[in-house]
Amino acid sequence: MDSRSFVSDVNRLGFCLGFLFLCNIIIHAGASIHEYRNEAFTPQFNSFFFHGGSEGLYASKVHDEATSEEKSYNGKSFIRFESVTFRRTKDSTDKQNDMQQKTGLVEAIIVEIKDRERIGGSYLNSDLICCTPDLAKDGSCKVGEVIIHQNLDNPDWPKRIQTFFDGKNEEAKMLQTVEINSTGMYYLYFMFCDPQLKGTIIKGRTVWRNPEGYLPGKMTPLMTFYGFMSLAYLVLGLIWFLRFVQFWKDILQLHYHITAVIALGMCEMALWYFEYANFNSTGTRPMSITLWTVTFSAVKKTVSRLLLLVVSMGYGVVRPTLGGITSKVLLLGMIYFLASEALELVEHLGNINDFSGKTKLFLVLPVALLDACFILWIFSSLSKTLEKLQMRRSMAKLELYRKFTNSLAVSVLLSIAWIGYELYFNATDPLSELWQKAWIIPAFWTLLAYLLLMVICVLWAPSNNPTRYAYSEETGDEFDEGISLTGSGVMVAGDVATRLERKERKTTTASDHVFGLGEDLEEDKRE
C-alpha cells in the first residue's frame, strides 16, 4: 500500500471526523434567567427594540390563587420582571413638559412564536411596527404604540405591558409577573416608538419558570436523560466490577484504564443530573456545583479520547508500553482538557444567558481542531496496528481489532447520519419552534460515547485467558493462535519464519507513518 495515498486518505477521514465532533461540543444553552446590563435599543423600521430573551415554556398546571408567593410557584409557569429599569438620556428629559405626568412609553411585548405575524402592521399591509396617525384613522391601533393584532380566541395575547416615564424622571421601572397558560416558544421584546427616547438603555433581569421548576423547557428532558444514563453507567460498572473481581489475577494494565473511564462516566452523569436538579429548584447554577460538574465532564472526555487512542495504538496487545510517544499523548490530552474545560465553564458557569455566536466560535474552534487531531491519530495508529498484526499473523488479535475497527466505522456512519439530521433540524427550525425535541441533539452524543465504551468493555473484558489478547514476545505459535503445532518440521518452519519476520520488522523505519516518528524502531529495540 502506497504510504502517501494512505496518509492522504487518513487526513481526509480525520478532518471529516473532526467536523463530526464539532456538533458534539456545541451545546445550545437555554435560559431561565435573562440579565440585561445597561444595553441599548436597536432601531427597526419606525421603532426601537431590544430582544429580552426567548424560551420554551409549558402551560401552568394549576390556576388557583395561593395565599403565599412560594405556594403560587407550584405548578405554575410564568415570566417575572425583576427590577427591569429603563434609563433615558438627559437630553430627552430636558425636552419634556414640566406639567406632563407621563412623558415616555416603553412596552414589553410577549408573543408566542406561532403568533409572530400579529406584531407589526403586516395585517394592515404595512411594514411599520409602530402605529402612525394614518394607520390609526380606522381605530386599529393607537399612535405611539406598537401595532398588535389581537388573537380573537385569546384576546389577551400577544401580551402588552406598558411602562411610562413620570415627568422628567430619567428612570422608569417595570415590575410584573405574566402567567403562561399555553405551551409554546415565547419571545420577549422591549420596544418604544418615541424618537425622543433614542439612547435609552435597559438593565435588570427577567425570570422564566416552568411548572416543574426553573429549568428551561428544552433542557427539562435532559435531566431525566442524565438520570437514566447514571443508571446505565452504574449497571455497566457493576458488571465490569464483577468480571474484574472474578479474574483479578489475570488483570491487564489496560483494564485499569477502562475502569477509570467507567467511573468517570458514572460520576459525570450523576453530577449533571444533580446540577440540573439544583438549577431546576433554585433557578441559579452555583459556582461550586457547576465547577465540579464541568471539570468531571472535561476530564471524562479527555480520558475517553486517550483510551481510544492507546487502544488504537495496540497498547497492551502489540506493544507493552507507549515508549517515546507517551509525552506526546499526555501533552495532547492536557491541551484538550484545558480547551474543553474553558468551553464548558463559559457555557455553564453561573446563570445561563444568551451565549454570543462570536464567543462560542472562539472557544469551540480549538476543541474542534483538537478533536480532529485525536481522530486523525486514532485512525493512523489503528491502521498501523492492523498492519503489524497481519504481518505477524496474530489471528486472534487481528480479529479483535477488526471488530473494534468495525465498531468505529459504524459509529462514524451513525455520526454522519446524525450530523445530516442535525443540520436539517437547525435549518428548518431557525426560531426554535421544535424546542421540545431539541434535547435529543446533545443526548445522542452522550449515548454514542456510552455505546463505544460498552464495545471496548466487551472486546477487552477480563477473562481467565488474558494472554490470548495481551502483549507477549513473538513465538512460533503466533502464526495461528489457538492451534497446536505438533510436527517438528512445522515447528522449525515456524521458528525460521518468525526470525525472518523479526529481521524484516527491524529494518522497517517509522517514516512510513504520520505520527510517532521512531515509534516502531523503539518498540523493536525493546523486543
In terms of domains, do 252 and 400 share one? yes
Of 24 and 258, the one with more pLDDT: 258
- 290 and 152 housed in the same domain: no
Does the pLDDT of residue 196 top 90, yes or no? no
**In Å, what is the CA distance from 446 to each residue of 21, 331, 337?**
12, 25, 17
pLDDT for res 492: 36
- 159, containing H or E segment: strand 159-166
3-state secondary structure of 525: helix
The stretch 44-66 carries a mean pLDDT of: 80
Q: Say yes or no to pLDDT of 511 above 50.
A: no
Q: Calculate helix-pair angle for 488-506, 357-392, nearest 10 degrees.
A: 140
User: For position 81, which CATH number holds?
Assistant: 2.60.120
Is pLDDT of 500 > 60? no
Single residue among 176, 209, 242 that ends a domain in this structure: 209
Say whether both 197 and 343 belong to one domain: no
Residue 384 has pLDDT above 90, yes or no: no
**C-alpha 185: how far from its chain's center?**
21
**Structural domain range at position 163:** 33-62+73-209
- What pLDDT score does 515 carry? 38
Whether residue 133 is preceded by a cis peptide bond, meaning omega within 30 degrees of 0, is no
Which of 145, 180, 209 is at the close of a domain? 209
Residue 317 inside a domain? The answer is yes
What span, in angstroms and rounded, lies between the C-alpha atoms of 512 and 520? 10
If asked whether residues 192 and 264 sit together in one domain, one would say: no
- 310 and 407 inside one domain: yes
Number of domains in the chain: 2
Amino acid at 447: L
Query: Residue 92's Cα: distance from chain center in Å?
Result: 45
Question: How large is the average pLDDT for residues 319-323?
Answer: 63
> What's the mean pLDDT in 140-154?
80
pLDDT confidence tier of residue 483, bands split at 50, 70 and 90: very low
pLDDT computed for residue 242 by the predictor: 92
> What is the reported pLDDT for 397?
76
Mean pLDDT, to the nearest integer, of 156-177?
86
Residue 430 has pLDDT above 60, yes or no: yes
Confidence of residue 521 (pLDDT cuts 50, 70, 90): very low
What percentage of the chain reaches a pLDDT higher than 70? Answer: 73
**159 part of a folded domain:** yes
Q: What does the pLDDT look like over 329-379, one tens digit per residue? A: 888 889 888 888 888 777 776 444 444 445 556 667 788 788 778 888 888
Confirm whether 493 is domain-assigned: no
Read off the pTM.
0.70
Q: Are strands 42-44 and 159-166 parallel, antiparallel or unpaired?
A: unpaired
Q: What nine digits make up the cell of 95?
A: 425636552
Asked whether the beta carbons of 446 and 23 are under 8 A apart, the reply is no
- Indicate whether 456 belongs to any domain: yes
pLDDT reading at 112 higher than 60: yes
Asked whether the predicted pLDDT for residue 63 surpasses 70, the reply is no
Poorest-pLDDT segment among 75-84, 165-174, 201-210, 476-485: 476-485
Residue 304 falls within a domain, yes or no?
A: yes
Which amino acid is it at 270? A
Please report how many Cα atoms fall inside a 13 Å half-sphere around the Cα of residue 262, on the Cβ side.
Answer: 25
Task: Name the more confident of 189 and 500.
Answer: 189
239 lies in the same domain as 270: yes
* DSSP three-state, residue 460: coil
- Cα separations (Å) of 514 from 326, 384, 427? 16, 10, 37
Residue 522 lies in a domain: no
One domain for residues 312 and 354: yes
What cell numbers appear for 498 in the block?
Answer: 518468525
Task: List the CATH number of the domain containing 435.
Answer: 1.20.1070
